[in-house]
Amino acid sequence: MSTTSSRSPFAQAIALVGIAAMLFAAGHAALTREGVFQWLTPGIAVAYVLWVLSEWRITTATESQDTRTDRYTCEAYASARFLTMLAAFLPDALWSGPGPWLSIGLAVFAAGIGLRGWAIVTLGRAYSHRVRTPEGVGIVSHGPYRLLRHPAYTGMLLAHVGIAVLFCNVYVLLALGLALLPALVRRIRVEEAHLLSLPGYADFAAARARLAPGVW
């Protein structure tokens, strides 16, 4: 496969369209909804956009455009995460006013972002939004990788569980369970098929859960 045909700008396009759609939905919610969701929706939208932009350098890096071993799983789960956010901003939430759900949801959302950030910093230059293995970089087994094979994905999923708690409605639960989770599982399958070619990865994987200890 040629270098040109293996590169794709789709991930950035999905992110930009997702950001625009999410901000529009959040603005509409701020004008039309009442109570806690009048400020919570735009507040979470802005926080989410800042989160996406904090990784923008990685998203636009040359190595993040190479799709040869990625099978477009990046596009699939990028689409799924923005779909989940848009679903969250739809009406008919289970909650109608402030309660324990608010602090729990915010804590889980922040914890997910924090875990993902920790994993990215731990990997350093080895981290990419594409499935790849940089030359000269071995298996990382410190930081969050002491317990998990894919803590960045755990953080991604955890943050969206927090979103589901905050905006608990049937739409976000369906998007989380039928779009984001399957997209992450498929990406992990593709990534591990690639990583198993590395010396020592099988032993590394055997000692750690993929996303959550005792679960998977």
Q: Each residue of 157-176: pLDDT tens digit?
A: 999 999 999 999 999 999 99
Q: Which parts of the chain register pLDDT below 70?
A: 1-9, 62-67, 133-137
pTM for the model stands at 0.92
Residues 6+ apart with CB under 8 A from 97: 35, 36
In the prediction, which pLDDT does 69 show?
Answer: 77
Contact (Cβ atoms closer than 8 angstroms) between residue 150 and residue 37: no
Please check whether residue 2 lies inside any domain of the structure.
no
Planar angle of CA 127, 129, 131, nearest 5 degrees: 80
- 195: domain CATH number is 1.20.120.1630
**What is the rounded end-to-end Cα distance, in angstroms, of the chain?**
34
Whose tokens are 């608990």? That residue is: 168
Q: Which domain, by its residues, includes 19?
A: 10-206
Please check whether residue 132 lies inside any domain of the structure.
yes
Please check whether residue 99 lies inside any domain of the structure.
yes
In the prediction, which pLDDT does 5 show?
Answer: 43
Q: How many domains does the chain have?
A: 1
> What backbone torsions phi and psi does residue 110 show, to the nearest 5 degrees?
-65, -40
Residue type, 31: L
Contact (Cβ atoms closer than 8 angstroms) between residue 116 and residue 151: yes
> What backbone torsions phi and psi does residue 136 show, to the nearest 5 degrees?
80, 5
Please check whether residue 5 lies inside any domain of the structure.
no
